[in-house]
Amino acid sequence: MRILNADQAVLDHVAGRRDAIIGRTIDWANINSGSRNAAGLNAVLDALETEARLLPATVERIPTQGSTTVADDGSVRTEAHADALKITARPEAPIQVVLTGHYDTVFPADSRFQTVTTRPDGALNGPGVADMKGGISVLLAALEAFETHPDRHGVGWTVLLSPDEEIGSPASAPLLAELGARGHVGLTYEPALADGTLAGARKGSGNYHLIVTGKAAHAGRAFDEGRNAVAGAAMIAAALHGLNGRHEGVTVNVAKISGGAALNVVADNAVVRFNVRAPDKAAADWIDASVRAIASAPPFEGLTLDLHGGFTRAPKPMDAAQTALFEAVKEAGALLGQSIAWKPSGGVCEGNNLHAAGLPNIDTLGVRGGDIHSDQEFAWPDSFVERAQLSALILCKIASGEIDAAKLKALRMETL
């Protein structure tokens, strides 16, 4: 593998747009788009659509499905979500690349962390500069440059920018599954670590909400007539926590117990919310079965249990296809003077969804940065061009066949 003249022209195209790539990231990050901030999400979507329409591609807003949420009082409600943005070029081409990102952040509309600043060391500090508005800008920059390559016609690509990744992709999951089944290689733009290290194997993740219903009664006059849902929830939470350490790599995090009312009332409702992580399918099946067994047996008479949720991201192990793709990306990076390494991650992202649908993918192709999900989130400005050039070169090498996308897809299908 080597850099050809046509490849170099693509890389130079990226370098020439450095200021624009960084500038639009700052503009987008200065618009709050917390996962449940409908107005902010729509404002960012408008801005993204404006940029997308500069590409020689079809741009569509795709309505997402609604999802159900469990309120703290145990009621089950339907939640609407913003549209996804789909950008498509050459869907008839023999090789199809799927590129994904999300434009929501973890920062709600009333967050104190709202604007981008530059730290004394030169890093950008702002909501979403790394996770992942910077990644979206890198994604678009790579495609803008690749569209100047003479071999581009053999490669079609589809971009999906979703509004709900930070809450588990409840609305966009079917769209990710559909694209994953159709594509040959996936590129996703979560941030790399500050030194450029990529995420390799990823655990799977499940979110559960257990509604506990009891019977209200006066805590003094009729205590024995009540059935305390909060007490039951606490006992269940202890049982769930007790699953830790019983299967290698599996963790259960009891995150929140809601419910109850006045101190002189036996609580008739509670909700236990918890997350599980598992390294592979066997572990995921074990923990899901264990959770459901606990949720099927009230800890004392008079309670009813209603379990909602499950695995939203399947495990993403380093199978043969993933290993081969990482090695190809490492080789492309070396041509650019970039040392590409990877390590396992307990975190999850859209790459889990794509892998589950049969798509080998690299999911940390975004900017170098860190401290995501906090008001210290940062991204290194030099990494915007660096990472866009890496993605652009990957696309060039897929087009030339030096990265054999069809073979990678076949390897992945062998393990399904």
User: Of the residues 313, 337, 357, which one is the last residue of a structural domain?
Assistant: 313
**Residue with more model confidence, 415 or 166:** 166
Pairing relationship of beta strands 84-89 and 155-162 according to DSSP bridges: antiparallel
Shared domain check, 293 and 240 = yes
From 7, 83, 164, 165, active-site residue: 165
User: Domain for residue 186, yes or no?
Assistant: yes
Shared domain check, 142 and 13 = yes
Which of 401, 384, 385, 390 is closest to 329 using CA atoms?
390
What amino acid occupies position 331? E
Q: Is the dihedral of CA 353, 355, 360, 366 positive or negative?
A: positive
Q: Is the pLDDT of residue 416 over 90?
A: no
Range of the domain at 268: 204-313
User: Domain for residue 74, yes or no?
Assistant: no
Q: Is the pLDDT of residue 194 over 90?
A: no
Rounded CA separation 296/48 (Å)? 46
Q: What backbone phi and psi angles, to 5 degrees, belong to 115?
A: -135, 160
How many CB atoms within 10 Å of residue 195? 10
From 7, 51, 83, 104, active-site residue: 104
User: Domain for residue 370, yes or no?
Assistant: yes
Shared domain check, 164 and 16 = yes
pLDDT tens for 162-174 read 999 999 999 999 9
pLDDT band at 284 (very low <50, low <70, confident <90, very high): very high
Spell 64-90 as b/e; 16+ CB within 10 A means b.
beebebbeeebeeeeeebbbbbbbbbb
CA 93 vs CA 129, 152, 157, 398: distances in Å: 33, 10, 9, 12
How many CB atoms within 10 Å of residue 179? 24
147 catalytically annotated: no
User: Domain for residue 185, yes or no?
Assistant: yes
CA dihedral 217→222→226→230, nearest 10 degrees, is 70
Three-state DSSP class for 224?
A: helix
Shared domain check, 162 and 29 = yes
Shared domain check, 320 and 238 = no
Tokens representing 290? Answer: 């264990």
Rounded CA separation 286/61 (Å)? 39
User: Domain for residue 75, yes or no?
Assistant: no
Three-state DSSP class for 319?
A: coil
Instruction: For helices 5-15 and 382-400, give the axis angle rounded to 10 degrees.
Output: 150
pLDDT band at 261 (very low <50, low <70, confident <90, very high): confident
Q: What is the pLDDT of residue 117?
A: 98
Shared domain check, 391 and 362 = yes
Which domain CATH number covers 306? 3.30.70.360
pTM for this structure? 0.93
Whether the CB-CB separation of 204 and 230 falls below 8 Å is answered with: no
Tokens representing 275? Answer: 């997350």
CA dihedral 161→167→170→176, nearest 10 degrees, is 30
Shared domain check, 220 and 156 = no
Which domain CATH number covers 161? 3.40.630.10
Rounded CA separation 220/398 (Å)? 73
First and final C-alpha spacing in the chain: 30
User: Domain for residue 99, yes or no?
Assistant: yes
Spell 114-131 as b/e; 16+ CB within 10 A means b.
eebeeeeeebbbbbbbbb
User: Of the residues 292, 313, 334, which one is the last residue of a structural domain?
Assistant: 313
Shared domain check, 286 and 403 = no
Q: What angle do CA 124, 388, 361 make, to 5 degrees?
A: 110
pLDDT tens for 3-14 read 999 999 999 999
Q: What share of the chain is helix, strand, coil (3-state, %, to 5)?
A: 35, 25, 35
Whether the CB-CB separation of 369 and 380 falls below 8 Å is answered with: yes
Which of 305, 243, 303 is closest to 278 using CA atoms?
243
What amino acid occupies position 30? N
Determine what percent of the chain is predicted with pLDDT higher than 90: 96
Return the DSSP state at 168. Answer: T
Length of the chain measured in residues: 416
User: Domain for residue 57, yes or no?
Assistant: yes
Which of 252, 215, 89, 210 is closest to 157 using CA atoms?
89
104 catalytically annotated: yes
Shared domain check, 250 and 324 = no
Determine what percent of the chain is predicted with pLDDT higher than 70: 100
User: Of the residues 298, 313, 328, which one is the last residue of a structural domain?
Assistant: 313
pLDDT tens for 55-95 read 999 999 999 988 889 999 999 999 999 999 999 999 999 99
User: Domain for residue 193, yes or no?
Assistant: yes
Please, what is the average pLDDT of the chain?
97
Task: Work out how many domains the chain is built from and give that number.
Answer: 2
Shared domain check, 197 and 219 = no
Tokens representing 152? Answer: 């581009």
Shared domain check, 18 and 155 = yes
Token match 């009729």: residue? 222
Q: What is the pLDDT of residue 46?
A: 98
Shared domain check, 366 and 386 = yes
